[in-house]
Structure 1
Amino acid sequence: MSKIRVRLLGGFEVWAGERQVAGFESQKVRALLAYLVCNRRRAFSRDHLAGMLWPERDGDTARHALRQAVYNLRSKLPDAGAALLQVTNAEIGFVPRADLWLDVEAFEESLRMGSGRTVDPHHLSAAVQLYRGEFMAGFFVKDSPDFEDWMVTEQVRLRDATVEALHHLIESYSRRGEYRFGAHYARRLVAVEPLLEEAHRELMRLCALAGQRSRALTQYEELSRLLREELGVEPLKETRQLYQSILSEAAREEIVADPEEPVGPMVPLVGRSGAYVRLLEGWSQALAGKAHLTVVTGERGIGKTRLIKTFLDVATAKQTCGVLKGRCYELSPLQAYRPFVEVLRGALAEAAEGSGQVLGLVPQEVLEDLARLVPELRDLRPDLPQPAPLAGRDRLFVSLRRFLESLCRSGDPLILFLDDLHLADRDTLDLLAFLVSKLAGPIWIVAAFRPDEEMEDDHPLGQILHRAEEAGSLTRLELEPLVLPMLAEIAESLVGEDQAAELAGFLMQKAAGLPLAVNELVDYLWDEGILVAQEAGLWKVGRVLREIEVPEDLDELIRLRIRRLPNSTRRLASLAAILGQTFEVQLLQEAADEHVKVVEIGLEILLKRWLIRQFAYFWTDGRGDEAPMAVWAQGGRRGSFEFAHNRTRKAIYGELNPLRRQAMHAQVAAALEKLRGDRDCEALAYHYTVANQWEKALPHLRRSFERALAVGAEDAAQRYCDQSIEGLSRLAAAARSEVAAERWREERDALRERAAKLWP
């Protein structure tokens, strides 16, 4: 920590260590300090300073006043200002390399790092956190017009820079579909520029996108009042049309305006500058036209996914490119090549939205093969003929390679983001190995996984990395826990200077540098009313932190937060955990058999507590009107969501009584069949199996077995075969008659014979 810290954004504060420096004898002494510290790379003549601050006095009197001001400064700064002030008979200035931190300098450096060739939300959010208010807000110096002119010029310059940064952040989070984050920065923009109608309109749009229609309507009323009182005008036609679009949907339901509860604390991403550089190395290879693999590793909760998503915001901000994402899951249905199926579905979702000519770039024979993996492709291309049986999976692998390469035909690079690869099955890793060795062109595969201590050199994932490294197409990046200075940066961004040390020490003791634990602890403090919202996006610690008892185990902390939710919301969260890491609201509502309003309120609470977030299959570009506002205004229940972290979902799932868990899996399976028939046979097989309803599970296990065989996914096929044999054995053992038992045994034996032929 610097010896002296000066804060001029939002007021005037000088700190020496943990002590705020006071006792400056006048506003002109403070003005002198502010002017010198903001220009500390140069020294000023005594005549210039005296004339600027005491223009009403004659030369000798003004210079005497300056000497008195310098004396007062020296008497209040540590060590009589010897290490800070540089004073001669002719000039006065700050020592250029003095141990001094100035918020304006930190603000401008964060802006510089976040506003280069590509926009970097990580650094821009740090800049916005530093902007606590107008430069030297509320400061006035009598009879010093030159100083006033300089101060006003700085106020306008820094305010304009903040407005531009906020616009970039709003656009970035809108593009990623994280509308609640976008709304947070839109509120900051409204606070900085309350008469900027565009800011109010953007806040309305983002609130509607986030399902907060009543808040969007309330924002319009606030804007109307403000414009009438301050300018005597009404909102623009564009703003009125947006209001009517939201209102037309809201009028169909009973809307009760919610109180203006702030969004929970947003923990900034810190301590990852070196990781950014390593990610940039891999991305640069793709920009140069070479396929490249980058792997981000680290323990559970270290922040792999957040880092990659933040970097992808940077990469896509100014560079036109495609981003497709896929993920591996635990406690979920087994599906052949699942992350790559998600990649394909993302591309199809983008095509269905009309935001790209995806399918027009791909040869028909390739689409015919890919329809084996994603049958819904035929909804977009009903002209595709039924494919002949595969002689081997090599053709399917080649077709996927050709599909991905065709997306780069226009010259724009493609990013594949594969998450949680340590959970991948053998079939998925075989396909990944093929793509890593065969893909050509500007394609960047960025993958995250948690290394297994038992992962041997002959593990398929280890072999993929080894071969890529030998080929010179691999970048490795391992994330480490956060250390105290990084936690201090987080703490200061949340609670400001005076409480930062206490909060940082608390986080260090309880979270041990794990970013997920830091987030959960901060959210817990907010849940409990210990972190209280203040102005300018800051928070205040309302109790002595060392007196607060918090579970040592992170999973127990998550469960404690869940237990504090209302009963209906807790039941909804449990059912969502049964559905999976990602879940569709329509299916959740059907399985819960609750009124739509109960579901919507529950989702709103989970969103506010940062336990879930909105989910989109593809990386949106955030430009233009992606859908009519009437669709935006339909609220959160119309889309898909995901748990904020897979550990959150596991903690909720693990809390359930085993018998209750089985019953809820049966609920989900019944809802799934009602909504989609037997189309999602893998999901139905999974839920009925976990529900211990083997007779219902069996037809879906058989179909899943055949589907896996049809695409050459032998690992998945063997597992479905084994599960089917187990189910048949259980049914035979539980049969009420010998005839039924014999039928199940005969079917089991026939399946065993087939398995012996398939895998001798």
Structure 2
Amino acid sequence: MMMPTLHIRLLGDFSLIYNDRQVTSLNTTRLQSLFAYLVLHRDVPQQRQHLAFLFWPDTTESQARNNLRQLLHQLRQALPAVEQFLSADAHLLHWHPVTPCHLDVAEFEQTLTLADETARRNDQHALQDALEQADNLYRGALLPGCYDEWILPERERLRQRHWQVLEHLLRLFEGQGDHVSAIRYAQRLLALDPLSEDLSRRLMRLFTLNNDRASALRVYHTCVTTLQRELGVEPDPATREAYERLMQQETPVIPARVHQPLLAAIPTLTGRKLEWKDLQNAWHGAITAGPHFVLVTGEAGIGKSRLAEDFLLWASQQGAVTAKTRSYAAEGQLSLAPVTDWLRSAGLRAQLRQLDAVWLTEVARILPELFAEQPGLPHYESVTEYGQRQRFFEALARAILVTSQPLLLLIDDLQWCDQETLEWLHFLLRFDPTARLLVVGCAREEELPPHHPLRTFLLHLRNSMRVTEITLQPLDAAETAKLASQVAKRELDTGSVMHLYHETGGYPLFVVVEMVRADLGRAPASLLEADHPHGQPPLDDARTLPPRVHAVLVGRLLQLSASARAFVELAATIGRE
């Protein structure tokens, strides 16, 4: 009788299948870590002394060896069949090389070896097949929930290998002139490294070659926003030159309805899976059942803008027309400024010519340049009566909904939005019950007192249509570690992660700022090294704050009473000690 095969999955998550049944008893991180270490080093017998020191470096040798014995006992209890795969004596542990076992990491690396061989033979079809197979096998980071020191370099090595797979596939499809496939891989790479201007330029070029200038422009604007938000810098000259070349082209191509849209990978947003699913559900509801409004709330720095803008990018990749704007505290009384921004966006501006003159005349109240473009356009009259205001609102709604494609509108910092825009938004969402329209608004919860106009807007809107409200919470310690590792482009040790978590409270903006300030992209593997002999991480070294963080903190302090501000000033003087 053949011995059952053990199927082990370590990429993306931990999974064991033995005798065609899922094994769920290996349910602790330390147990999974030991099992993973043994199977990944299955070709070399492991000394107990080495394992004890590796997993418990801060304890005595006798205590570490006792901990190892207990962990091995737990392993045998959780998976009795492990004795068929693992031999153990007083000194060594050794994985049996001849027992039937399928390990996804091994299959991934074997496929990469096959890809290398086909590349040397210059067999392009076989190379593409091997690379695509390797991409399918890499389901995610190696044991993403484990932060033991031994796994960090191995996890990074596999991540880099997968990056090389995606990069190679991108080059293959670029060379073949298959722009659609190349775009898909460029998008995935850019989602993994949103700060890469080189990838942004490549994706802009690919969209241009695919006759989709609007998407190329969206890539540039996303790049600019990301760089300003995450690093506080402008794009480099090469990126700006690529954008200027796009702007010098002829009238933008408005792509036809996409029958088979590019399926974009979910962005690498940390700790926002449920919120992302809520947004997708709202989007599908808007497409199938009519207009929908989503409000994303949370404190400043919590990640509202990042979530919404990544979703905007995702929707554009599904064939939607998208437009975004924001309100500003200093412009709160500037009526309909957000609507003006939307109508001037690349996805909507070119389609205004489809409107009849009677509606264009009304739209020209906030887009006066229409008179220069169409000299024969009649001039509007002053709005003095309710009926004239309603016609003006209807003209703006028709201008927004003139596109035949699904439409996603984003307005950030909605807490500062003017009253007239809120009234018009209510009108827009009720104007055409069949419109495939989703409006996403982001607002700071701490700046929405009980009688804020936005609360009144929501109260009326809930009575007439579906409203989805998403409240963002700070990241937990594990999610903070993941985000910090993405910014630093390497794994961080546990001490640094916990220090960062306590410093930032799990607020994504502050996590990114602290990592950039510490320049961890070029720092040593540990934050607690020779340059900081007293164990004080360099996260405290910088004495200045980026302007945006400074503005956030000042804005919060200004909301405090005089006595509360005095207390905060005293606390700041005393410090943490």
Contact 1:326 1:341 in 2 (8 A): no
1:547 and 2:536 aligned? yes
Compute the displacement of 1:7 (Å). Answer: 8.1
Letter in 1 for 2:482: E
The 5 Å alignment of 1:182-221 reads 182-183=197-198, 212-213=236-237
User: Does the 8 Å contact 1:22/1:76 carry over to 2?
Assistant: no
**Larger deviation, residues 336-345 vs 305-314:** 336-345
Equivalent position to 2:184, from 135, 155, 168:
168
Separation in 2, partners of 1:331, 1:386: 30
Output the CA distance in 2 between the equivalents of 1:467 and 1:270.
33
Compute the TM-score of the two structures, normalised by the length of structure 2.
Answer: 0.55
Q: How far off is 1:469 after superposition?
A: 1.9
Mapping 1:277-356, distance limit 5 Å: 277-317=277-317, 319-332=318-331, 334-346=333-345, 351=349, 356=350
Q: Are 1:451 and 2:451 an aligned pair?
A: no
> Residue 161 of structure 2 aligns with which residue?
134
What aligned pairs does 1:469-618 form with structure 2 within 5 A after superposition? 469-493=462-486, 499-526=492-519, 530-532=520-522, 541=527, 543=529, 546-548=535-537, 560-562=544-546
- The structure 1 residue matched to 2:458, chosen from 456, 465, 484, is 465
The residue identity in structure 2 corresponding to 1:378 is: F
The count of corresponding residues between Structure 1 and Structure 2 is 399
Q: Residues 288, 547 of structure 1: CA spacing in aligned structure 2 closer, same or farther, 3 A cutoff?
A: same
Residue deviations 1:148-201 (CA, integer Å, cap 9, x gap)? xxxxxxx979964998899536448999xx99534257899xxxxxxxxxxxxx
Letter in 2 for 1:109: R
Amino acid at match of 1:532: R
- Residue type of the partner of 1:133? Q
Percent of aligned pairs with the same amino acid? 20
- TM-score normalised by length of structure 1: 0.43
In 1, distance between residues paired with 2:478 and 2:453? 39
Q: CA deviation at 1:131?
A: 4.7
CA deviation after TM superposition for structure 1 residue 308, in Å: 0.6
Structure 1 Cα separation of the partners of residues 523 and 171 of structure 2: 21
**Aligned runs of 1:681-760 on 2, under 5 Å?**
none
1:426-474 Cα offsets, whole Å, 9 max, x none, are: 2232222322333431111111111247622x54321221222222421
Equivalent-residue separation in structure 2 for 1:414 and 1:311 (angstroms): 13
Q: Deviations over 1:404-437 (max 9, x none)?
A: 4455455311111111111123223222232233
Structure 1 position 92 matched with structure 2 position 76? no
SS in 2 for 1:271: coil
Q: Deviations over 1:636-659 (max 9, x none)?
A: xxxxxxxxx5x555679999xxxx
Q: Distance in 2 between matches of 1:25 and 1:169?
A: 31
Say which is worse superposed, 505-514 or 392-401, in terms of deviation: 392-401
For 1:509 and 1:455, locate their aligned partners in 2 and report how far apart those are by CA, in whole Å: 29
- Aligned counterpart, 2:52: none
Distance across 1 between alignment mates of 2:103 and 2:40: 25
Contact 1:370 1:396 in 2 (8 A): no
Q: In structure 2, what is the Cα distance between the partners aligned to 1:79 and 1:334?
A: 68
Residue 509 to residue 28, structure 1, CA distance change in 2 (3 Å): closer
Residue 492 to residue 548, structure 1, CA distance change in 2 (3 Å)? closer
Structure 1: runs of 5+ lacking an equivalent: 9-14, 33-74, 112-127, 138-154, 189-201, 218-241, 247-266, 563-610, 612-644, 656-760
Matched residue type, 1:548: P
Provide the C-alpha distance between the structure 2 equivalents of 1:159 and 1:30, rounded to a whole number of angstroms: 32
Report the 3-state secondary structure (helix = DSSP H, G, I; strand = E; otherwise coil) of the residue aligned with 1:294.
strand
- Shifted more, 283-292 versus 391-400: the winner is 391-400
In the TM superposition, 1:360-509 aligns within 5 A as 360-392=353-385, 395-405=388-398, 408=401, 411-440=404-433, 441-452=435-446, 455-456=449-450, 459-493=452-486, 499-509=492-502
Gapped regions of structure 2 (runs ≥ 5)? 1-7, 13-28, 47-67, 86-95, 110-133, 142-154, 174-180, 204-215, 225-233, 247-266, 558-577
2:15 aligns with none
Letter in 2 for 1:463: T
Q: Look up the SS of the partner of 2:522 in the other structure.
A: strand
Cα distance, 1:169–1:523 mapped onto 2, change above 3 Å? farther
Write out per-residue CA displacement over residues 52-109 of structure 1, whole angstroms, 9 at most, x where no aligned residue.
xxxxxxxxxxxxxxxxxxxxxxx99961863566454998356999xxxx9x999733
Give the Cα–Cα distance (whole angstroms) in 1 for the partners of residues 158 and 195 of structure 2: 20
The 1:378/1:395 distance shift into structure 2, 3 A limit, reads same
Indicate if the aligned counterparts of 1:24 and 1:30 stay in contact, CA closer than 8 A: no
* 2-structure distance, mates of 1:652, 1:330: 14
Structure with greater Cα Rg: 1
Secondary structure class of the residue paired with 2:43: helix
Query: CA distance change for structure 1 residues 532 and 453 in 2, over 3 Å: closer, same or farther?
Result: closer
- The one-letter code of the counterpart of 2:160 is G
Partner of residue 41, structure 1: none
CA distance in 2, matches of 1:350, 1:297: 27
Q: Distance in 2 between matches of 1:424 and 1:444?
A: 18
